[in-house]
Amino acid sequence: MTSRGPEDFPARDRVPVTPQAGFLQPAKVKPPGAGPVPVQPLWSAPPKTGKGTAVTVLLTVGASVALLAVAWFLWWQLGTAAFALCGILALVPLGICLLGLRWVDRWEPEPRSALLFAFLWGAGVSVGIALLAGPYVARLFYALLPGFAPEFIGPVLEAPVVEEIAKGLGVLILVFVRRSHFDGPVDGVVYAGTVAAGFAFTENILYFGSALITSGGFGAQLGFVFVLRGLFSPFAHVLFTSAIGLALGFAVRRGGTARIAGAFFLGLLAAIVGHMFWNGGTALVSGDFFAFYFLLQVPLFGLAVTGVLLLRRAEQRLTRQRLGEYAAAGWFTPQEVLMLSTRAGRHQAMAWAGRFGARRIMKTFIAEATRLALTRQQIAAGRDVAANQATERTLLQDITRTRSMMLARSAGTARGLV
């Protein structure tokens, strides 16, 4: 099927815009006092309910049940007081991780339902798999490597393999059930990081509880473990599993089940190796954790942040390129393209809309336009062309309606009606 561009839609279906100063300036196509330009319908059929959304709901329910089962197990192991205390402490690194992921996800926020499933999978299902399968995998390593000490096999071999597979499966599920929102490497990092943050949250409760029981109360042992895991390395699991999300994100841009499967295994291998290196790396510096942390872990974290920044800039360039095609067809003005494709432009637009109480409308306009650019990229790449063309039509209709709402609010304010 030949891909259609925005210029292929009939001219009557486009609300004319003119490149005047400011954002969202209406074109003068009707005599004064004749009212706003009516929006022509671009798509008459109601939007189809995606099967992926229903599947995500069912999977979220299942992941919630798994989390409750794991929580009950931890409560049974630790007792009420210790479980509550360790849960509160574990919220600190969790909050750090979620704030970091929110910063990564600012350009094109992912659906909350998908992020909720990702967190529940990590906190419940992944931990459950690790607890159930871990002992069996450890025995296999003992049999294959009889000369290695259990202190090495457990944290350096068994834990990375089992935990990364458990977390990675959740990311792979999201590729297929929320395919329309899994657009590229940044999305992969966000979803994988959310799964990992959920896993680390539950695992931290277990580690904090073990330290609490070992030390016989709130003492130096618990404090040391909290600082080590909660403050020095809250992003450890996020970094490992993000390799899986990154690989899958690049793969989904080109499509194909075989390509996605290959990317999953490559990303999984990188995550496992990174996890092994993290857990066993202190042996490289004679057991000096702080030397390992500042000489190796901190630079690696810096490289990861730099990589995310470069990926975000690539998304901004992609947004500008694709929206420029729509501007050439009359859907946006050149000023709007610059506004929608830069952080400074978006902040300026939100401030402008805030003058007449339309920040929420502007936020919707920005989100719809960004989604439109990513959808156009999928069409250009030949991925699910028919479905994405239907999504494109719906988004253009939504953008036209949102524009009209913004112009009506702005005009009402100018006349003193709002």
pTM: 0.80
The answer, yes or no, to whether residue 171 has pLDDT greater than 90, is yes
The answer, yes or no, to whether residue 389 has pLDDT greater than 90, is no
23-43 pLDDT per residue, tens: 454 333 332 333 334 333 333
Average pLDDT over residues 117-121: 96
Confidence of residue 332 (pLDDT cuts 50, 70, 90): confident
Alpha-carbon span 290 to 302, nearest angstrom: 17
* Cβ 339 vs Cβ 406: under 8 Å: no
Select the highest-mean-pLDDT range: 7-21, 56-70, 83-97, 325-339.
83-97
The answer, yes or no, to whether residue 408 has pLDDT greater than 90, is no
Angle at 286 between CA 304 and CA 300, to 5 degrees: 5
137-170 pLDDT per residue, tens: 999 999 999 888 888 899 899 999 999 999 999 9
Alpha-carbon span 373 to 317, nearest angstrom: 10
Q: What is the pLDDT of residue 100?
A: 93
Q: What is the pLDDT of residue 122?
A: 96
Average pLDDT over residues 222-247: 92
* Cβ 241 vs Cβ 191: under 8 Å: no
| Tokens 């849960």, located at residue | 87
| Tokens 């069409």, located at residue | 379
Q: What are phi and psi of 26, to 5 degrees?
A: -75, 145
345-382 pLDDT per residue, tens: 888 888 888 888 888 999 999 989 998 998 888 888 77
**How many percent of the chain have pLDDT more than 90?**
40
Confidence of residue 1 (pLDDT cuts 50, 70, 90): very low
252-308 pLDDT per residue, tens: 888 788 999 999 999 999 999 999 988 887 666 656 677 777 777 788 888 888 888
Q: What is the pLDDT of residue 5?
A: 56
The answer, yes or no, to whether residue 415 has pLDDT greater than 80, is no
- Sign, Cα dihedral of 308, 312, 313, 318: positive
Q: What are phi and psi of 16, to 5 degrees?
A: -65, 140
Q: What is the pLDDT of residue 411?
A: 75
